[in-house]
Structure 1
Amino acid sequence: MDKSDKIIVGISIGDTNGIGIEVILKTFEDKRMLDFCTPVLFGSNKVISYHKKVLKLNNNINGVASVDKIIHGKINLVNVWKEEIKFDLGKTTDIGGKYALKSLQAAVNSLKENKVDVLVTAPINKDNIQSKEFDFPGHTEYLEESLEGKSLMILMSDDLRIGLITGHIPLAQVSETITPDLIKEKVYIMHSCLKQDFNINKPKIAVLGLNPHCGDHGVIGKEDDEIIRPTIKEIQETGKLVFGPYAADGFFGSKTYEQFDGVLAMYHDQGLAPFKALSFGNGVNFTAGLSKIRTSPDHGTGFDIAGKNKANHLSFQEALFSAINIHKNRIEYQNLIQNALKV
């Protein structure tokens, strides 16, 4: 591969007191990673140097003033700020949130300007990052506001992809939020995503029920019979292979998920609890449905092990490979569409 053809991966460093920088640096300890992409970190030389010293890591970092100055075959770092900042490894602080946001904003701006091809985000703390500039429950909502499209949060591993019909909202609001239009929107996003991002020609999608046992014909709630089933039937009439609703406990307990290309859960923990039980440490969070590609590891800031050189980098590495593969799949899909139109 010509160096100029390498995929440029923008990387936000996450909370400066967490394990984000550690998993990034550990991922690129293997120099073969630079054969797959050109990484561009958004942060500060001083921050990276501090973490390298604490963790006793020896990555060579190429500091640059802008993405235009990056060098292929090296780990590049765009210096977003120059000032010294205080570190409190393992603690949630306003400083950690402030500079996590600075890194994220710079990375997203470069993504929007096509200076990087994809974005991989290290974990933030959803509390200390809150500000006038970031009034969102998490990365997914922030990116939906910043980029074109409607988002769908998908947690994925080699044999499982789980999307969320409702995301970071209180459980008390879930049932009133689920509407036929929302279910249709998320099904269509997942269907499109599976085709263009994963090269699956005829995706097969499962939809989970809301209530225990899918309501038991109204005994434990009416939403499954009155909202979810009729909506799935309506979607099926368009020719899409969408099935359900399935009771979540039996669906995962019997490994029925292995029969589907994608699964849609009604709310956050209904999808993420089984996913992390099955795939934690190797999973990837993918923000589907947007004009640009963003992935992240399936874990949080890891404050309890920050600075102790105990963080496992495999999920971040998988997030990196996933972003690269999805980018290639989208290009291939667009080429197929264009060629089909020409014929």
Structure 2
Amino acid sequence: MKESGKIKLGISIGDLNGIGCEVALRTFLDPRMMDFCTPVVFASNKTISQQKTDLGLNVGFNGVRDASQVVEGKINIVNVWKEVPAIEFGKATEEGGKYAIKSLRAAVKALQEGKIDVLVTAPINKNNIQADDFKFPGHTDFLAQELQGESLMFMVTDNLRVGLLTDHIAVKDVAQAITPKLIRDKVDTMVKSLKMDFRIRRPKIALLGINPHSGDNGTIGEEDDKILKPTIQELFEKGTLVYGPYSADSFFGSNSHEKFDAILAAYHDQGLIPFKTLSFGKGVNYTAGLDKVRTSPDHGTAYEIAGKGEADESSFKEAVFAAIQIYRNRLEYGALTKNPLQKQKTKRAS
């Protein structure tokens, strides 16, 4: 990680037929955004020109061959392809998925090589991205393979953070997938992220139950009693402030989430439904636990409004700000852990 200079923020454009390009370009229509970072979009000059024309967006950009050639103060387009792919707004096409993956692969490669500092991914369609060389249910699983660390799907906003024990798997497979080791690993990743990425010194975590009413003492399933409770107790005895399992149906409605720094949900919808209900348009999907910073907006391709100029860039902008802040927090955390006396010296000097 660099100690100075403007952060280079990479952007993979997602499905060309969705709203990914639109929300990315709208975010940087505001020139003040350039004060925070240098945007680097992985696509092609022709593709972005076509998108801005179709959407009526008056935005200039700087085309480069490689991410190492970007210019501060401009929207930089890294030319990943030369051809002009067909754009069919609102349709899930094979071509839309193909170029979403081309953009993502190029962006991740640049991230690995240090040519960009952070990555914000625009939405993809989990169906049309499938190919012989790409069999992942989404961004998180692909990034977990390509980058170092233990990944955690972490939905975050100012005062709410929800992580997932299991993410893109069928509900029928959830109970079997949750093991003591998985719980320990995900809690450990969440604790490290809360300390390093969010500057929380002593994180307090709530774990939601698997079954309705957390199993009602074994009446509605035994997983909560046999797997969750003993593992939570084990972690707590070792000094981790993790509590539960809590009944998911009343946890958010009773505002219990406000008592914790983060919540670990058992499965996808258990965590994302309340998160998006409480923070839609402001939430960010963050892949915690990896050696690089990646965020994305909390919405999908939104085919129903694609190409109509109606997309709201709020969540994408929040993803940009989150990536920048997490990157800075990591720099500070790294400096303090290397020299724990530095903070005290700085205070005395001031």
Question: Structure 1 residue 85: deviation in Å?
Answer: 1.3
1:223 matched residue in structure 2: 223
Query: Tell me, what secondary structure is at the counterpart of 1:181?
Result: helix
Question: Structure 1 residue 133: deviation in Å?
Answer: 2.0
- Residues 137-192 of structure 1 show CA distances to partners (whole Å, capped at 9, x for unaligned) of 10000000000011000111111100000010000100000000000000000000
2:135 matched residue in structure 1: 135
Query: Tell me, what secondary structure is at the counterpart of 2:175?
Result: helix
Q: Take 1:226 and 1:219, find their aligned partners in 2: how far apart are those partners?
A: 13
Query: Tell me, what secondary structure is at the counterpart of 1:42?
Result: strand
Query: Tell me, what secondary structure is at the counterpart of 1:308?
Result: coil
1:85 matched residue in structure 2: 85
Question: Structure 1 residue 341: deviation in Å?
Answer: 8.4
Q: Take 1:117 and 1:341, find their aligned partners in 2: how far apart are those partners?
A: 27
The reply to whether residue 62 of structure 1 matches residue 62 of structure 2 is yes
Percent identity over the alignment is 60
Question: Structure 1 residue 66: deviation in Å?
Answer: 0.8
1:262 matched residue in structure 2: 262
RMSD: 1.1
1:273 matched residue in structure 2: 273
1:62-211 → structure 2 map (5 Å cutoff): 62-211=62-211
Aligned letter for 1:214? S
Aligned letter for 1:197? D
Give 4+ residue runs of structure 1 displaced > 3 Å after superposition.
Answer: none
Question: Structure 1 residue 286: deviation in Å?
Answer: 0.1
Q: Take 1:288 and 1:251, find their aligned partners in 2: how far apart are those partners?
A: 23
1:190-339 → structure 2 map (5 Å cutoff): 190-339=190-339
Aligned letter for 2:35? D
CA gap of 1:332–1:52, structure 2 versus 1, over 3 A, is same
Query: Tell me, what secondary structure is at the counterpart of 2:295?
Result: strand
Query: Tell me, what secondary structure is at the counterpart of 2:340?
Result: helix
In the superposition, the TM-score normalised over structure 1's length comes to 0.98
Query: Tell me, what secondary structure is at the counterpart of 1:253?
Result: coil
Query: Tell me, what secondary structure is at the counterpart of 1:299?
Result: coil
Aligned letter for 2:128? N
Q: Take 2:154 and 2:340, find their aligned partners in 1: how far apart are those partners?
A: 29
Q: Take 2:86 and 2:214, find their aligned partners in 1: how far apart are those partners?
A: 51
Aligned letter for 2:31? K
Query: Tell me, what secondary structure is at the counterpart of 2:26?
Result: helix
Question: Structure 1 residue 236: deviation in Å?
Answer: 0.3
CA gap of 1:233–1:282, structure 2 versus 1, over 3 A, is same
Aligned letter for 2:45? N
Query: Tell me, what secondary structure is at the counterpart of 1:288?
Result: strand
Q: Take 2:135 and 2:149, find their aligned partners in 1: how far apart are those partners?
A: 19
1:18-33 → structure 2 map (5 Å cutoff): 18-33=18-33
1:35 matched residue in structure 2: 35
Question: Structure 1 residue 46: deviation in Å?
Answer: 1.2
Q: Take 1:36 and 1:49, find their aligned partners in 2: how far apart are those partners?
A: 24
Q: Take 2:72 and 2:157, find their aligned partners in 1: how far apart are those partners?
A: 29
2:347 matched residue in structure 1: none
Question: Structure 1 residue 100: deviation in Å?
Answer: 0.4
Q: Take 2:146 and 2:133, find their aligned partners in 1: how far apart are those partners?
A: 11
Aligned letter for 1:259? K
Q: Take 2:213 and 2:162, find their aligned partners in 1: how far apart are those partners?
A: 19
Q: Take 1:254 and 1:280, find their aligned partners in 2: how far apart are those partners?
A: 19
Query: Tell me, what secondary structure is at the counterpart of 2:326?
Result: helix
Q: Take 2:299 and 2:117, find their aligned partners in 1: how far apart are those partners?
A: 23
Task: Say which is worse superposed, 67-76 or 264-273, in terms of deviation.
Answer: 67-76
Question: Structure 1 residue 196: deviation in Å?
Answer: 0.2
Task: Say which is worse superposed, 313-322 or 42-51, in terms of deviation.
Answer: 42-51
Q: Take 2:209 and 2:180, find their aligned partners in 1: how far apart are those partners?
A: 13
Question: Structure 1 residue 340: deviation in Å?
Answer: 2.5
Q: Take 1:296 and 1:336, find their aligned partners in 2: how far apart are those partners?
A: 28
Task: Say which is worse superposed, 79-88 or 318-327, in terms of deviation.
Answer: 79-88
